[in-house]
Chains A and B, each alone.
Chain A
Amino acid sequence: GAGVSQSPRYKVTKRGQDVALRCDPISGHVSLYWYRQALGQGPEFLTYFNYEAQQDKSGLPNDRFSAERPEGSISTLTIQRTEQRDSAMYRCASSLAGYGYTFGSGTRLTVV
């Protein structure tokens, strides 16, 4: 596609529910990154992939968070048993090897 597409744009979920956030990167982009951003703060790294391989997941806050990119294109970030502190904007970005990122519009997650 022309840009990085994320869905849904907004997600409200009850505490304890699982959520899945989707990222469709720019076609052909090798690297895909997940960040989350709290209001008034810079993006916080979560994890990234090169093709289908997860290269670094050191930013995932705990084992309720997981991500996959099974075919090296679309990625899903899953949060199990959501908690209120998980509420944030979740941003996906993709890049060609060695170049800067292109970010998507993000998914705003609200846990109530």
Chain B
Amino acid sequence: DAKTTQPPSMDCAEGRAANLPCNHSTISGNEYVYWYRQIHSQGPQYIIHGLKNNETNEMASLIITEDRKSSTLILPHATLRDTAVYYCIVRREDNYGQNFVFGPGTRLSVLP
């Protein structure tokens, strides 16, 4: 199973911050939190990942709670092109790969 829980859908006004929550209460100490998104019929696209520290890149910020049982993906200024399904995944980071288990994700609609 996916080991994460996300709301099925969210709306956000264009230009505002989109805050997408994810619960991962059973996360293990060696598991990272990954976020992907899928726009329409394209393949999933990597956004960001982290272990316990907050992370930021050109696409988004990832805030992980101190107990690591939940996280929030923040799109600081959402645009219409950010409308997509966002997947939160926990995965062990090792040198030999491990399949990502995708849940149903959160369908984010950015409204004009």
Contact = CB atoms under 8 A, between A and B. Distances in A.
A41 B104 contact: yes
Given A55-B96, A97-B95, A45 B101 contact: yes
B5 to A, nearest CB: 13
B58 interface: no
A102 B96 contact: no
Interface in B1-20: 2
B104 A103 contact: no
Interface string B19-53: 00000000000000010100001111110010000
Given A42-B85, A98-B94, A101-B44, A33 B49 contact: no
Range class of the B interface residue count: 20 to 34
B19 to A, nearest CB: 21
Contacts, number: 63
Contacts of A104: 43
Contacts of B43: 4, 91, 93, 103-106
Contacts of A45: 99-102
B55 interface: no
Contacts of B45: 103
Closest 3 CB pairs of A and B: A103-B43, A42-B102, A31-B97
Interface of B: 2, 34, 36, 41-46, 49, 85, 87, 93-97, 99-105
21 contacts: A33-B100, A42-B2, A44-B102, A45-B99, A50-B96, A55-B96, A55-B97, A89-B41, A93-B43, A95-B97, A97-B95, A98-B94, A98-B97, A100-B34, A100-B36, A100-B46, A101-B36, A101-B100, A102-B46, A105-B43, A106-B41
